[in-house]
Amino acid sequence: MATQIDKEACREAYNDVRDDNTETNWVVFTYEGSNIVPGGQGVDYEEFKKMCTDDARLFGFLRITTGDAMSKRAKFTLITWIGENVNGLQRAKVSTDKTLVKEIVQTYAKEFLISDSKELEEDYIRDELKKAGGANYDAQAE
């Protein structure tokens, strides 16, 4: 059966993360049978990491504040998580299903495909987003 996405619910959750007037920093899009739906959202990055279990496959859209002493800004990332215990067929479907998610999640600085929890460390994600963010004035003396 072809995977479907709940466009309205997913778009609402995506916009909530992008909205500067909310505290929501992440949303996870998960599978309910053959449907992709919002599977949770929150403020704390550690809560997001807990969703990334060995038997899960999901898409995370996150807001991470980056920058330097001169400028702080929100950067967004799309993380595709495939746990180590996900079977081969489900792994393969994730790549084609990601196109459905990208119909909703269209604005982000960097995309990650992660299956090792070590790569989910917040500092690693933040550093990668910082590299993608352009000018960095941290090295200059104040």
pLDDT tens across 6-15, in order? Answer: 999 999 999 9
Positive/negative CA dihedral, 107, 110, 114, 116: negative
CA distance 79 to 107: 13
Give the predicted TM-score (pTM) of the model.
0.90
CATH numbers and ranges of domains, the chain: 4-132 (3.40.20.10)
**pLDDT-derived band of residue 131, with 50, 70 and 90 as boundaries?**
confident
| β-pair partners for 111 | 78
What pLDDT is recorded for position 136? 55
What pLDDT is recorded for position 112? 97
Please say if the pLDDT value at position 140 is more than 90: no
Q: Under 8 Å CB-to-CB from 105, ≥6 apart: which residues?
A: 14, 59, 61, 78
pLDDT digits (tens, 9 = 90+) for 72-102: 788 999 999 999 999 999 999 999 999 999 9
pLDDT digits (tens, 9 = 90+) for 20-74: 999 999 999 999 999 999 999 999 999 999 999 999 999 999 999 876 667 778 8
57 neighbors 29 (Cβ within 8 angstroms): no
Rounded to the nearest integer, the mean pLDDT of the chain is: 90
**pLDDT-derived band of residue 142, with 50, 70 and 90 as boundaries?**
very low
Pairing of strands 35-42, 4-5: parallel
